[in-house]
Amino acid sequence: MEADRDAIPHGDPLALFDAWFAEATLSEPNDPNAMAVATATPDGAPSVRMLLLKEHGPDGFVFYTNGESRKGGEIGANPRAALLFHWKSLHRQVRIEGPLEEVSPEMADAYFASRHPDSRLGSAASDQSRPLDARKTYLDRVEALRAQHPDGDVPRPPHWTGFRVVPERIEFWLSRPHRLHERRLFTRQGEGWSEGLLYP
């Protein structure tokens, strides 16, 4: 018989995410904030990539990107996303789905300024997702910007921004022996949440 202490608890999914994320921060060897981010074109063609979660709380889950990238174009045309966290060390997954809203320019400025100077230079020099004739072309652009901003204090490009996924569905998945996994889905209902188990 499975121990009750391993069950996915009832209650507030955002508080549960906080607890699982805190445990992942201690147990995952690399990037516990890594997540797959799925977007889609208006006609439903999906694409997915790994990004890093930079902030989360009652308002949602924030990541940053080049707004002129493929994902940025898809977000502009179809502002919804799905996130997936997979913490292998804990045998857990969390899936989050909802609409996207752009963060404020002030928030994007503050996060961009907090990045390593080389990361700021790399982002400003990149035409993300567009064809590149040779890697040297990109590295030359980085060095040209470094010459203009030797302290690395390059300003945030206007197309570099952040997006917040406002969760409508949050599903917690817990691995069980013999694939008898446990899944609990929370669905936004007004200011609260409804919840229930799903077959694995």
* Domain assignment of residue 100, given as a range: 4-115+159-198
- Is 165 domain-assigned? yes
Instruction: With respect to residue 137, please indicate whether it lies within any of the assigned structural domains.
Output: no
The per-residue pLDDT for 4 is: 46
179 is catalytic: yes
Q: For tokens 């919804």, name the residue.
A: 80
Residue 126 lies in a domain: no
The pLDDT tens digits of the residues spanning 86-109 come to 999 999 999 999 999 999 999 999
pLDDT of res. 166: 98
How far are the Cα atoms of 65, 71, 86, 118, 140 from residue 153, in angstroms, in the given order? Answer: 18, 26, 34, 9, 18
- pLDDT at residue number 151: 84
Average pLDDT of the residues of the chain:
93
Residue 68 lies in a domain: yes
Angle, CA 163 vertex, CA 92 and CA 153 arms, to 5°: 110
For residue range 114-160, what is the model confidence (pLDDT) as tens digits? 999 999 998 988 888 889 999 999 999 999 999 999 887 899 999 99
Rg for the chain (alpha carbons), in Å? Answer: 19
Residue 151 falls within a domain, yes or no? no
Residue 54 is assigned to a structural domain of this protein: yes
Do the domain assignments include residue 42?
yes
**What distance separates the 2 farthest-apart alpha carbons in the chain?**
65
| Helix segments in the chain, DSSP class H | 13-27, 70-77, 105-114, 117-125, 135-148
Q: What share of the chain is helix, strand, coil (3-state, %, to 5)?
A: 30, 35, 30
Contact 36, 84 (CB under 8 A): yes
Catalytic one among 176, 179, 183, 188? 179
pLDDT at residue number 155: 92
Q: 50-59, 73-82, 117-126: which has the minimum mean pLDDT? A: 117-126
Confidence of residue 6 (pLDDT cuts 50, 70, 90): low
Give the three-state DSSP class for 74: helix
Contact 186, 195 (CB under 8 A): yes
**Residue 45 maps to a domain:** yes
Residues 119 and 142: their CA atoms lie apart, in Å, by 10
CATH at residue 176: 2.30.110.10
Number of domains in the chain: 1
Question: Does residue 177 have a pLDDT over 50?
Answer: yes
Better-scored residue on pLDDT, 164 or 10 = 164
